[in-house]
Amino acid sequence: MRYLLTYSLLSLSLFAAAQQDPRIPPAKDLVTYQLPKNSIYHKGWIDFNKNGKMDVYEDPSATIEARIEDLLSQMNVDEKTCQMVTLYGYKRVLADDLPTADWKNKLWKDGMGAIDEHLNGFQQWGLPPSDNPFVWPASRHAWALNEVQRFFIEETRLGIPTDFTNEGIRGVESYIATNFPTQLGLGHTWNRDLVNKVGYITGREGRLLGYTNIYAPILDVGRDQRWGRYEEVYGESPYLVAELGIAMTKGVQKDYQVASTAKHYIAYSNNKGGREGMARVDPQMSPREVENIHVYPWKRVIKEAGSLGVMSSYNDYDGFPIQSSYYWLTTVLRKEMGFKGYVVSDSDAVEYLHSKHGTSADMKESVRQSVEAGLNVRCTFRSPDSYVLPLRELIHEGGISMETIDDRVRDILRVKFLVGLFDAPYQMDLKAADKEVNSLENQQIALQASRESLVLLKNENNTLPLSKDKVKTISICGPNANDASYALTHYGPLAVEVSSVLDGITAKVGKNSEVLYTKGCDLVDANWPESEILPSPLTSDEQAEIDKAVANALKSDVAIVVLGGNNRTCGENKSRSSLDLPGRQLNLLQAVQATGKPVILIMINGRPNSINWADKYVPAILEAWYPGSQGGTAIADVLFGDYNPGGKLTVTFPKTVGQIPFNFPAKPASQVDGGKTVGMQGNMSRVNGALYPFGYGLSYTTFKYSDLSISPAVATPKQEVTVRCKITNTGSRDGDEVVQLYTRDILSSVTTYEKNLRGFERVHLKAGETKEVAFTLYPRDFELLNLDNNWVIEPGDFRIMIGASSEDIRLKDILTIAAYGEQTVQKKIAGVNESVAMVLDNNNNTEWNGVSGDYLTFVMEENAQPDKMSIYWKAIEHPAAFEIQLSSGGGQFLTVYKGEIKEAEKLSTYSFPKTIASDVRIAITSGKASIAEVKLDNIKR
């Protein structure tokens, strides 16, 4: 309710300001924008340079490149350099909301490349939205941006329109707009079509409000769960980031309604220790990992979606700041990827060259290095003079050639022409802005996104869904139960109505159930985060509030605890040193669980948390991320069975921060470590395995996978391959399943990842329904970066795996890639030697013969945990004995079973303690024996 009150008070404030401001046009003039009588406006074209004739750059029928060259030929140095900078909007740098007479004396009298976040309502971190009357309603906001645009068209010599830029990673940043889940939540939908719709709505609402360039999507790939901006990534898989990034970009840029500027280019999301801000230097990655993980999404999104904008990051890589790197900004981005738009700097990326990285002596040298490297537009919270004046000095002194300047300006103008700024520079349909921005139709898409982003992590004994008929009293507690501040922060809409979890549940049950609420604890305690390393006893006030939650739970049929984080614990410059629940949250959960009542944990947060205690003891856990303004409604829909959750994890949940780096994809056996038995006599020295793996997620129904087919089974490096399977809903409820396809290059010249996500599809199935799912694998899906740093496809066998998560593989087979012209290669057991192959061929007439000291070794799939093995002894020379030995890496084998070989011509089964094993060995310890067949699950084939 707090957010509705805040929203109402701000609206009243805006209304009062509007009543007193004589500049605001009457309502009748906020239907269609009325251009003043001015001789430059003609039917079908605008005389931007006011010379009384249609120049080529003013001619809509001319080619864009011809228009660019004509305009460029008329521009002087002052006008060109003004195009190469951003002016931050009202109350950030720009002091005025609308143009004033003094603008003719400012730097931007010669134009401006972009104006960022103008009148979008955001003032500063921690401050409420602006109460300026031009931030809302939508029609008035669009009118105000038109008035600003008029200055640049009518009052500058060449009339070059400015590019109005704005944030948009969870809906366009505005006082009010359609509010979506954070990008991490959108990633968990695994729904390209839905993300495309989100992109279109974001771009459409942005253009209706007057913006022409939206800073979205984020193409960073999550690698370190401590990182504060984990809430902004789609996930850990570069393939998933690319697929959803393509969908989002195409939606934002549909019909060139606006430009899409992706961020942060490049190698930005794996900083040392997850550190942020000024410490964002020296990402801890090898060059091959940068290419495989971080370059991959950019390459595909630029080539397949045609991004018009790229934001250059302010980190370095391997000692070279990205901002001053010709290799990254020109060689890779423009020459290799084919980028045709303009590069804008992230925050103080230029200034950091001298103030942080120490690779430049001063601002002037930083400007030179940046422009030479490929920067088009400097964007930061500083006066544009601080960049343009040293840039002009460099040109005058011969430090930068006019050829370079012209190249940079061409890219800026190209984007402006593509988004129609020279043909339709004003948002004319003001009424449409009021009608469409945050419309009911758009809110329905937001609700769908909120529902599909939810991931059911645990549901012991079908605790969920709840029955309204059986649950008459519900207790709700937790710092996030009645707090939805996560939905009203930077990079998205600022003042929309938000449904909290308490709101959603209260509305859902109506008068059927009594809802008892108390906060239970604050999000953090008074000494957080120091309290994570120096814990202190609960204060009397903290204990009293927990006692209230316990008392409510004891009166209830079910207890709902809503924990996690918000912008105090996660977000930009909010990296953590722990992944545990902050503050007293675990104390609260343990106290409520101790009541013996059924407990449901709802997590609202921007990163994976190590909720080990909850996973062991709490019967039901729902991960909601930051679910947007519709979050409370969506969560209530899931809790009471009106929506069946189908989201799957796009990130890995470590059990402890001490396991980091721990993410997907991973190299073979890289996640296996140490001993396996606990206790004083055990050999285990650290916690192993994920709490929840990539791709994991439960449903209220169950699914069966069947009928895997690969066509062709043997393909050339230039062929597409179709993989099909069938999915059946074997439960009693309709539901969604995210079907995931993974590949593995079995034998390669360089080490490749254990599993590569190369296909996914979210499929809705009615109870009992079966659908066929088809995936297309392209040649790029089999590429690797070889020893010579060339992208190649190496002929050989690839394991194709389809499953419900990266660790729940239901179907698998082998695809062979063979060079064109070679004979068809028969499928074979791949990756094993001839002796092992003979005992895995389902043929009792082929055998391996061994004497004392001989052994057979079987390589196991990652995280295999064998506990039995069956051996068909073909012949024995008594007395004969053997051992079964296991290795968990490092070459050391430990015996888990020993015995005599008693019977031949019979399949005998031997059991031993379940242990994670990288290799399993059968060793003949005395006598002679031959083996015809071995049955062992999870042998690597």
Active site residues: 346
The dihedral through the CA atoms of 149, 150, 155, 161 has a sign that is positive
Count CB atoms within 10 A of the CB of residue 460. Answer: 12
3 state DSSP class of 290: helix
Residue 562 sits at φ, ψ, to 5 deg, of -115, 105
Residue 320, strand partner residues: 317
Compute CA 922 distance to the chain's CA centroid, rounded to the nearest angstrom.
Answer: 45
Where residue 347 falls (left for φ over 0; alpha for ψ -120 to 50; beta otherwise) is left
Nearest to 487 by CA among 379, 344, 374, 630: 630
Structure tokens at 777: 């694998």
SS3 sequence, 35-102? CCCCCCEECCEECCCCCCCCCHHHCCCCCHHHHHHHHHHHCCHHHHHHCCEEEECECCCECCCCCCHH
Residue 382 sits at φ, ψ, to 5 deg, of -135, 160
Question: In angstroms, rounded to a whole number, what is the distance separating the alpha carbons of residues 640 and 553?
Answer: 18
Cα distances from 668 to residues 570, 699, 860, in angstroms, run: 31, 30, 11
Question: In angstroms, rounded to a whole number, what is the distance separating the alpha carbons of residues 616 and 608?
Answer: 17
The dihedral through the CA atoms of 386, 388, 394, 400 has a sign that is positive
Q: By the 8 A CB rule, do 19 and 13 touch?
A: no
Question: In angstroms, rounded to a whole number, what is the distance separating the alpha carbons of residues 857 and 870?
Answer: 14
3 state DSSP class of 761: strand
Q: By the 8 A CB rule, do 882 and 927 touch?
A: no
Question: In angstroms, rounded to a whole number, what is the distance separating the alpha carbons of residues 248 and 305?
Answer: 9
Q: Are strands 41-42 and 45-46 parallel, antiparallel or unpaired?
A: antiparallel
Residue 787 sits at φ, ψ, to 5 deg, of -60, -25
DSSP alpha helix (H) spans, 336-401:
349-355, 363-373, 385-397
The C-alpha R_g of the chain, in whole angstroms, comes to: 31
Contacts of 520 (CB under 8 A, 6+ apart): 477, 478, 479, 481, 545, 546, 548, 549, 561, 588, 592
Per DSSP (E only), the strands in 712-862 are 714-715, 721-729, 735-745, 756-765, 770-777, 784-785, 791-792, 796-803, 809-817, 848-851, 855-859
3 state DSSP class of 421: coil
Nearest to 799 by CA among 748, 727, 870: 748
Question: In angstroms, rounded to a whole number, what is the distance separating the alpha carbons of residues 512 and 508?
Answer: 9
3 state DSSP class of 17: helix
Question: In angstroms, rounded to a whole number, what is the distance separating the alpha carbons of residues 669 and 754?
Answer: 8
What is the biggest distance separating any 2 CA atoms in the chain, rounded to whole angstroms?
109
Question: In angstroms, rounded to a whole number, what is the distance separating the alpha carbons of residues 915 and 898?
Answer: 16
Nearest to 67 by CA among 317, 416, 378: 416
Helix crossing, 385-397 with 363-373: angle to 10°? Answer: 80
Question: In angstroms, rounded to a whole number, what is the distance separating the alpha carbons of residues 86 and 282?
Answer: 27
